Structure 1
């Protein structure tokens, strides 16, 4: 079953969910590998950087596809729960989607390098695009250095270092709470079908 139903997510939604999750895991592994295990300005650190950038671009693509698919498919009905639980779930999903969009965007906009997308082709850095010239230089009247500072701060210090992984942990704990404590089918809806 490719499409969602009122009871379960379809194969496409599941694939996009798990590909996004793996993308975030790989992005974290590559960036922390770069910081902890490589020397600056070496081939290893550049490889880790371009892998991180490539995973970030991939996440952006997966999220665009997820949002498109979400608007063209029904969303399975949530498991029975209190008003507070449903509000918390909606707020958590909103926060996750916000960061799934914001992290690839700020990562791309704040990087000093072109992205060698998995070493297959080159994606020019944002500062070398007509959109940057029109929006940042002409409309905002900023240099790349001025623009990059708050973008980088959000991407690295606020999102990457703290909020994103905390949201992911809360999301995982919520899934386990539904599965092992509430004993409902919330987690099962996103797992591969046995049929």
Structure 2
């Protein structure tokens, strides 16, 4: 789950449930709630409050002054036969373009081209249910974002039986790492990193 807070709007992505995650379920309020897909661990609207607008299907819209585009993709390499549809979210605020790839399981050049310029990229890296570290780096090299936020990987708080990788494969050999204590960071939209940076959270 990601909550992105701008001055005038809060956007929530994939509110979690406690399936496989021994974490407390904390209520969260937002103006826009985006579901990349309908699996129970990514679509728990019971924890979402506020008079929010729900976006969970392909299309382009302007909500609360945010231009938001949801792009159809797949949760697996079999065109959704195994795990269904996934939606990539691309949105822009104050000239900075963000992409949240959801549980992306497959991609091609046409899909990546449809995203356009991306400055801040939230990308799964754990494999098995999504793309793995290798595929994630292929996407990063294609999009050239300034900030990369890996997601959907194993941590010590995750049920050890869940067969996904830690973030280690994705960050192996990389020196452009910035660590943040807790689960949040501040991004200055008018002062993005000059070079590619990977943001990691110490939860």
TM-score range, shorter chain: under 0.3
Q: Which has the higher contact order (CA 8 A, sep 6+)?
A: 1
Q: Which has the larger radius of gyration?
A: 1
